[in-house]
């Protein structure tokens, strides 16, 4: 049996989103959140299909009207949700003998930090509504978030020990058992474990998609730190050094591309006089999203934005780089990649 986890830049059928609503943590900035999501959805629909999960019929009808004139199909389904982090509660799609299967892992709110009972049922609920067509869904009794693993599409997975070996996820599993499970369920043949790197304000226990990402042509694009006085520097420098030792399945080192670190952004930059007002927010340029023919790059209205855009354009000449202001997203301690999940085309035609 052949099984593998496609790279994100392989041909996609759709992007999945879970829409923010008044019963989520977005409540105090819900109007701004809705404007951002409409902008994002409109951009995605210029390139590929979109699947949206909403909590009620009213919101479904509103979105159907706002997103009616688009290049691709927007499918909207009613499904209860706790929050909007689709990368972590959405399905992880693998190919088994060429056909897509949805791996429905457990989601426990990043180690029971937040309520997640509704989010944990979203993939099952959408599958029952035929949101994924005839694609099979496999329910797996193991906690695994999509933001915690990266695939180069050639059998190598990149992840962090701080997250996957954290006892708040799967306390009954040791490292060898987790490796065996990733091999069985995701087709991993080469697992690279990062031991360094973490962003202040990130409550995911160091998800890989905020730190280092695979890209075409044997690249790893990673979040660097250029200011030696920044508190992130020791960890990110150690991460850079470890990345330089990593090799793909053929024993070839990856080419490393360093992104600048955004200037420190704090919650009270947006809302003065709140509790914990000097909480630094986890802004990362590494939280970009591949879609068909383009890459969506989070930016934050800081001086480093232009440099990050330039670096990404050079690193990914075959993709249109589209900057998106994600200042609103990091106020909830995540960014662009965190709120999305890609679904590959049903058949492997055209994969490279």
Query: For residue 18, is pLDDT > 70?
Result: yes
Which segments within 21-171 are labelled E, that is strand?
A: 49-54, 74-78, 92-96, 99-106, 136-143, 150-151, 156-160
Question: Residue 341 and residue 149: Cα distance in Å, rounded?
Answer: 13
What are the backbone dihedrals phi and psi of residue 160, each rounded to the nearest 5 degrees, phi first?
Answer: -120, 140
Query: For residue 349, is pLDDT > 90?
Result: no
Tell me whether residue 100 is exposed, middle or buried, using C-beta atoms within 10 angstroms of its C-beta: 0 to 12, 13 to 18, 19 or more: buried
Share above pLDDT 90 across residues of the chain, in percent, rounded to a whole number: 92
* pLDDT tens sequence across 337-347: 999 999 999 87
CATH value at residue 185: 3.75.10.10
Contacts of 44 (CB under 8 A, 6+ apart): 15, 50, 291, 296
Q: Specify the pLDDT at position 346.
A: 86
Query: For residue 348, is pLDDT > 80?
Result: no
Does any domain span residue 351? Answer: no
Q: Specify the pLDDT at position 352.
A: 30
Does any domain span residue 142? Answer: yes
Query: CB count, 10 Å around CB of 175?
Result: 12
Question: Residue 64 and residue 74: Cα distance in Å, rounded?
Answer: 8
Rounded mean pLDDT, 220-225: 98
Residue tagged 């304000």 (tokens):
201
Rounded mean pLDDT, 54-65: 96
Q: Specify the pLDDT at position 269.
A: 74
Query: For residue 71, is pLDDT > 90?
Result: no
The pLDDT confidence band at residue 271, using thresholds 50, 70 and 90, is: low
Query: For residue 296, is pLDDT > 50?
Result: yes
Q: Specify the pLDDT at position 275.
A: 60
The pLDDT confidence band at residue 277, using thresholds 50, 70 and 90, is: low
Cα within 13 Å of Cα(53), Cβ side: 30
Mean pLDDT score of the chain = 95
Q: Which of 53-57, 168-172, 272-276 has the lowest mean pLDDT?
A: 272-276
* pLDDT tens sequence across 110-135: 999 999 999 999 999 999 999 999 89
Query: For residue 176, is pLDDT > 70?
Result: yes
The pLDDT confidence band at residue 274, using thresholds 50, 70 and 90, is: low
Q: Which residue has the higher pLDDT, 170 or 352?
A: 170
Does any domain span residue 328? Answer: yes
Tell me the whole-structure pTM to 2 decimals: 0.96
Q: Which two structure tokens, joined as six digits, stand for 30?
A: 């819900």
The pLDDT confidence band at residue 1, using thresholds 50, 70 and 90, is: confident
Q: Which two structure tokens, joined as six digits, stand for 103?
A: 């791996």
Residue 38, domain extent: 3-344
Tell me which H or E stretch contains 308.
helix 305-315
DSSP state of 81: -
Q: Specify the pLDDT at position 351.
A: 36
Rounded mean pLDDT, 284-292: 98
Query: For residue 238, is pLDDT > 50?
Result: yes
Rounded mean pLDDT, 60-74: 92
Q: Specify the pLDDT at position 161.
A: 98
Does any domain span residue 257? Answer: yes
* pLDDT tens sequence across 130-152: 999 989 999 999 999 999 999 99
Does any domain span residue 292? Answer: yes
Rounded mean pLDDT, 47-72: 94
Q: How many domains does the chain have?
A: 1
Does any domain span residue 350? Answer: no
Question: Residue 22 and residue 12: Cα distance in Å, rounded?
Answer: 31
Does any domain span residue 349? Answer: no
Does any domain span residue 262? Answer: yes
Rounded mean pLDDT, 176-191: 98
Query: For residue 48, is pLDDT > 90?
Result: yes
Query: For residue 350, is pLDDT > 70?
Result: no
């Amino acid at each position: 049996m052949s099984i593998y986890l496609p790279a994100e830049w392989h041909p996609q059928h759709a992007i999945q989103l879970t829409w923010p609503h008044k019963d989520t943590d977005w409540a105090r900035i819900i109007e701004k959140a809705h404007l951002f999501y409409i902008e994002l959805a409109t951009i995605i629909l210029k390139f590929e299909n979109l699947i949206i999960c909403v909590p009620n019929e009213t919101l479904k009808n509103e979105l159907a009207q706002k997103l009616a004139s688009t290049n691709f199909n927007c499918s909207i389904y009613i499904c209860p949700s706790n929050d909007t982090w689709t990368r972590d509660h959405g399905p992880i799609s693998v190919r088994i003998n060429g056909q897509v299967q949805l791996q429905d892992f457990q989601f426990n709110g990043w180690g029971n930090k937040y309520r997640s009972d509704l989010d944990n049922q979203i993939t099952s609920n959408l599958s029952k509504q035929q949101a994924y067509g005839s694609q099979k869904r496999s329910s797996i009794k193991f906690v695994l978030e999509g933001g915690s693993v990266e695939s180069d599409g050639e059998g190598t997975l990149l992840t962090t020990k701080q997250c996957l070996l954290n006892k708040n996820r799967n306390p009954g599993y040791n490292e060898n058992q987790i490796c065996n499970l990733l091999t069985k369920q995701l087709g991993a043949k080469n697992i690279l474990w990062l031991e360094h790197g973490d962003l202040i304000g990130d409550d995911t226990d160091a998800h890989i998609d905020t730190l280092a990402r695979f890209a075409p042509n044997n690249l790893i694009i990673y979040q660097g730190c250029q200011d030696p006085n920044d508190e992130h520097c020791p960890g990110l420098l150690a991460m850079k050094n470890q990345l330089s030792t990593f090799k793909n399945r053929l024993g070839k080192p990856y080419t490393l591309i360093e992104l600048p670190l955004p200037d420190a952004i704090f919650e009270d930059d947006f809302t003065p006089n709140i509790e914990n007002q000097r909480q630094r927010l986890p802004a990362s340029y590494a939280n970009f999203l591949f879609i068909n023919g383009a890459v969506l790059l989070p930016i934050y209205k800081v001086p480093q934005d232009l440099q990050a855009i330039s670096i990404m354009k050079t690193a990914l000449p075959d993709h249109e780089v589209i900057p998106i202001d994600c200042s609103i997203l990091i106020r909830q301690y995540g960014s662009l990649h965190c709120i999305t999940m890609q679904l590959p085309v049903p058949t492997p035609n055209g994969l490279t």
